A and B are shown apart, each in its own frame.
Chain A
Amino acid sequence: MIEPCAPWPRHALPHEDWARIAEPGRSLLALWADTVQVYALLRDATGEILFASTGVIEGGFPALSPAWPLASRFERMIRDLWGHAAMGGIDTRPSLDHGRWPRTAPMALRPGPPGAAEPPEFLPADDDTLDQVPIGPVRPGISPAAHLRLTVRGETIVRAETHLGYTHKGTLALIRGKSPRAAARFAARLVGEATVGHSIAFARATEAALGVEIPQRAGALRDLMAHIEHMAARLDQDAATEEALRRAANTAFGHRLMMDCVVPGGVAANIAPGGLNALRRALNEPLPELPEGPVSVALPNESGEGIGHAVGPHGDIWHWLRLDHGQIASAFLCDPAWAHWSQLEGALIASGLDDVAETCARFDLPTSGVDL
């Protein structure tokens, strides 16, 4: 059955068809749930986007992780937040839920009683020649909170496991029941380094759900902000230019990181007079003139379902939401770091303990985006 969702219609599948969506050639972009369904966003071998969902029956749904190991982290998150079990999943350990919340399955219709805080479970190192090295959650330097458990033989890493969830703030629960405009503040604070990217994806999902077109000038301003965010993230080695760019962004948009500057329906405010020239100087780039016109449109209090995509400094960002008379019934914000954390685990294998800091710095992964 095909359900309306813009711009990609949703294929509501029975369990037996759902289990078959993990075809070779396809890749998983995001996997999430709400109280009654599980959703998957896929990319076909041809690059086409596919959107599928299946109902949760007796608290479970068929796991995709046997075919796509990447799905495992999502399935653990679904179990922790909504309590739906991925049947046949390759990993059933909790990830976000460390047993410290006042209730289990906090996003479920009927959340459970509080759990007991237990130390995280890692794969065992039974062999006498193996040792385990714990790093984090408080890691050296100015780093996001995450735990690395390295299984080593001598100095060589033979297995790396990441344990996340430390920075879980309950973002999805805070978004639920709010208007898109109010909820945009949470999208802007999912990943600080990609605040513009996430704000744009969230705004696009809202606009798709409501069938709203934003004015040309708003679109151009969003592109400009996204460009500045990309450039600032790439200026790691050049503190002076990055600082100049952040100050120019503050002059132009009133915020150094441009947080809350993109809102559903357009942008929050027009660019300040002289802002474009300040950005041109900081970027040393001839930025094009902006089209004239309004910078936002009013959003109708209607219902709908939509997906928004944006490219942030770390990669593709996908947001989905369903609106019920102008209020968010359910939403999911997918950061590219979901895939990158698994890649980090792979990249650490066979390297030495001395290389861990370097490898982690090169990946520079935010945790807030996957901890939600």
Chain B
Amino acid sequence: MSWRPTLRWPRDAERPVDTETATSLATRLEAAAQMRLGRSLAIRHLDAGSCGGCEIELRALNRAVFDLQRYGLRFVDSPRHADVLLVTGPLTRNLTEALEQAYTAMPEPKFVVAVGDCAVDGGVFKGSYAVLGGVGTTLPVDLLISGCPPAPERILAGLRALLEANARSRVVSSR
């Protein structure tokens, strides 16, 4: 059974890497990544007690007519892969822990976007024993998009503004 090539990687791995090459490669990669990835945001949606109205408009955004992905915006399944936590609903007491856990799991830098009147300040459910009244009561919010529910165009405009701001801040920080 000699057709199998000899595996050499353990010994190669022990050999020291040329530090100069590695540093210069890392710098170039960082600049390129910031140029390319700076114009893209991964979004994790979190239902904090929504009635489902905002989700109708979010689903519309994700589909053919608005096609969120062409702007570099995409929904992801895990908060660990997300740059943006997009929250709908008045933040019920029963979901506060889940919201905090999702936020903690996200890597830095991270943004919180409140979509809909409920997420902004509790909306019509403000004052109920079961809701805290808005995402801002628990997390620092970067962007508020009001409406009951906000139209897809409005959500899209907000997210694109966030995208631009993020891209600009990355270019500035890389200089």
Q: A residues engaging B (CB < 8 A)?
A: 96, 98, 100-103, 106, 117, 137-138, 140-145, 165-171, 173-174, 185-186, 189-193, 195, 239-240, 242-243, 246, 250, 256-257, 259, 366-368
Across the two chains, which residue of chain B brings its CB closest to A185?
A: B124
Asked whether B151 lies within 8 Å of A256 as measured between CB atoms, the reply is yes
25 A/B residue pairs, CB under 8 Å, sorted by A:
A138-B102, A140-B78, A141-B75, A142-B45, A142-B59, A144-B50, A145-B95, A166-B49, A166-B94, A166-B98, A167-B49, A169-B92, A169-B125, A170-B131, A171-B125, A174-B128, A189-B148, A192-B55, A193-B52, A195-B53, A239-B64, A243-B60, A250-B151, A366-B51, A367-B47
Across the two chains, which residue of chain B brings its CB closest to A106?
A: B129
Across the two chains, which residue of chain B brings its CB closest to A168?
A: B130
Asked whether B130 lies within 8 Å of A144 as measured between CB atoms, the reply is no
Contact with B52, one of A144, A186, A240 (Cβ below 8 angstroms):
A144
Q: How far is the CB of A168 from chain B (nearest CB, A)?
A: 5
A142-B55, A167-B92, A171-B125 known, 9 other contacts, Cβ within 8 Å: A166-B92, A166-B98, A167-B47, A193-B56, A239-B65, A243-B65, A250-B151, A257-B53, A368-B50
Asked whether B95 lies within 8 Å of A142 as measured between CB atoms, the reply is no
Give the residues in chain A near B95, CB-CB below 8 Å: 137, 145, 166-167
If A170-B129, A195-B53, A239-B63 touch, does A142 touch B58 (CB 8 Å cutoff)?
yes
Q: Tally chain B residues at the interface, Cβ within 8 Å.
A: 46
Across the two chains, which residue of chain B brings its CB closest to A143?
A: B47
If A142-B75, A143-B47, A189-B51 touch, does A170 touch B130 (CB 8 Å cutoff)?
yes
Give the residues in chain B near A257, CB-CB below 8 Å: 53, 56, 149
Whether B18 is near chain A, meaning CB under 8 Å from some CB there, is no
Asked whether A138 lies within 8 Å of B128 as measured between CB atoms, the reply is no
Asked whether B128 lies within 8 Å of A242 as measured between CB atoms, the reply is no
Across the two chains, which residue of chain B brings its CB closest to A97?
A: B94
Interface SS of chain B: helix, strand, loop or mixed?
Answer: mixed
Q: How far is the CB of A176 from chain B (nearest CB, A)?
A: 11
If A142-B55, A145-B98, A192-B50 touch, does A240 touch B131 (CB 8 Å cutoff)?
no
Q: B residues engaging A (CB < 8 A)?
A: 45-60, 62-65, 75, 77-79, 89-90, 92-98, 101-102, 123-125, 127-131, 148-149, 151
A240 to B63, CA, bound (A): 9
Asked whether B62 lies within 8 Å of A142 as measured between CB atoms, the reply is yes
Give the residues in chain A near B58, CB-CB below 8 Å: 142
- Lowest 5 CB-CB distances: which A-B pairs, in order? A192-B53, A192-B52, A170-B128, A239-B63, A170-B130
Give the residues in chain A near B60, CB-CB below 8 Å: 239, 242-243, 246
A143 to B47, CA, bound (A): 7
| Residue of B51, B102, B131 most packed against chain A (CB within 10 A) | B51
Give the residues in chain B near A192, CB-CB below 8 Å: 50-56, 149
Give the residues in chain B near A195, CB-CB below 8 Å: 51, 53
A367 to B95, CA, bound (A): 13
Asked whether A259 lies within 8 Å of B148 as measured between CB atoms, the reply is yes
Asked whether A144 lies within 8 Å of B47 as measured between CB atoms, the reply is yes
Asked whether A173 lies within 8 Å of B124 as measured between CB atoms, the reply is no
Asked whether B53 lies within 8 Å of A174 as measured between CB atoms, the reply is no
A282 to B89, CA, bound (A): 30
A325 to B98, CA, bound (A): 42
Contact with B51, one of A98, A102, A173, A190 (Cβ below 8 angstroms):
A190
